[in-house]
Amino acid sequence: MASRIVPQQQPRGADLVGLRSCANTICLRHSIELKFKRTCIGSLDDITEEPAPTNSATNSSDHSEKRQVTFEDFQKARLEIRPSAMKEVTLEVLKVKWEDIGSQREVKNQLLETLVWPQKHRDAFTRIGTDAPSGVLMYGPPGCSKTLMARAVASEAGLNFLAVKGPELFSKWVGESEKAVRSLFVKARDNAPSVIFFDEIDSPAMNRGRDGDGVSVSDRVMAQLLVQMDGVRSRGDVAVIAATNRPDNIDPALLRPGRFDRQLYVGPPNEKDREEIFSIHLRKTPYDSDVSMKELAQLTDGYTGADISLVCRQAALAALEESFDASVVTMKHFKMAIEQVQPSEIQFYQKFSATFHRGALMRST
């Protein structure tokens, strides 16, 4: 069964709060130990040797045992608190089907060919003496189904799915980022056949030489990622997919042969596609006989799949706002929703995709 491994991420600030609270606990534990010692041994000398300034964090009624949280307490806490980039991951069942995605047939076929064939027909690949492409990069404006398709291909092919956003691998804690990348691939191999999905692969964390602080965590993350991808290529039981809205920001090393060497453009839907996407999003919504998918598609020129999904939700809400007894959504509600939901600004992203596409054509010739 296809499943998604979800990183149990916390915001970075939460790591620091956790560190402080752990240091407080260590300090408190120390104070209690001292008190216990005094009670058992009855030796006041032991206590007077300890610095005992007051500290509200300890909450002790006996002021003689109170001490401030020290740097040493924080150092001990650091051994117990792991940064969020390295937090455990859990499995989640994925149930995305191809029927849930309107249009994008060519991309679907390419994903199947690249990711599913090599895993399902490994003997045929060996017999014919060729390697499958190692990684697939999906690029295009946001809200056009890159993530949805990555999930669908894993779900339909029964591959385990590990999803991670580029910035989630980034940690200033020395060595933690590389460990995060390594453990991600180990997990993928342990759960093979599987797919690793890198969303926002263009993030600054994934771009070498852009830290500007001389530490260059990004260099280390990228180096580790390249090593792991090269390893994956030789085994063939873990596929890697990446997605980006800004292909122009991707480290060129990732695009070399043997890495993300299959590049697929996932563009905004045309009128026919939009009709299909409306039908998909209205599968569970009762609508009036006056609702025409064709007309909805015509009215939503420039809308992405994500915009259409929002229009459908807004229209249903408009029907409910009118009356909680409403049993159908009418064309009037859809028109109201279309007025409220503005199409996403995708021209900005399309520009980068077009430049990247031209570059990809040149790279392949």
Q: How far is the CB of 322 from ligand ADP (least distance, A)?
A: 25
Using the rule CB under 6 A, give the single segment among 39-47, 66-74, 144-152, 182-190 that binds ligand ADP.
Answer: 144-152
Stretch that binds ligand ADP, among 76-84, 95-103, 203-211, 287-295 (CB under 6 A): 95-103
Member of 3, 84, 103, 314 binding ligand ADP (CB under 6 A): 103
Backbone angles phi, psi at 316, to 5 degrees: -65, -40
Q: How many residues bind ligand ADP (CB under 6 A)?
A: 17
Q: How far is the CB of 97 from ligand ADP (least distance, A)?
A: 11
Q: Under the criterion CB under 6 A, does residue 101 sit at the interface with ligand ADP?
A: yes
Task: Please report whether residue 277 would count as binding ligand ADP according to CB under 6 A.
Answer: yes
Please, what is the minimum distance in Å from the beta carbon of residue 173 to ligand ADP? 29
243 binds ligand ADP per the rule CB under 6 A:
yes
Backbone angles phi, psi at 358, to 5 degrees: -60, -40
Residue 2: partners with Cβ closer than 8 Å, 6 or more residues away: 93, 94, 95, 154, 155, 156, 157, 158, 159, 160, 161
Q: Which among 162, 166, 224 has a CA at the least distance from the CA of 195?
A: 162
CA 236 to chain centroid, in Å, comes to 23
Closest CB to ligand ADP: residue number: 305
Q: Give every strand in the sheet of 194-199, ordered side by side.
A: 89-93, 3-7, 160-165, 194-199, 238-244, 135-139, 262-265
Cis peptide before 204 (omega within 30 of 0): no
Q: Is 132 helix (H, G, I), strand (E, B) or coil?
A: coil
Q: Which of 118, 133, 143, 267 binds ligand ADP (CB under 6 A)?
A: 143
Interacting span for ligand ADP (CB under 6 A) from 34-42, 47-55, 84-92, 140-148: 140-148
**Measured between alpha carbons, how far is 324 from 316 in angstroms, rounded to an integer?**
11
Residue of the chain from 112, 192, 306, 328 that contacts ligand ADP (CB under 6 A): 306
By CB under 6 A, name the binding residues for ligand ADP.
Answer: 101-104, 142-148, 243, 277, 280, 305-306, 309
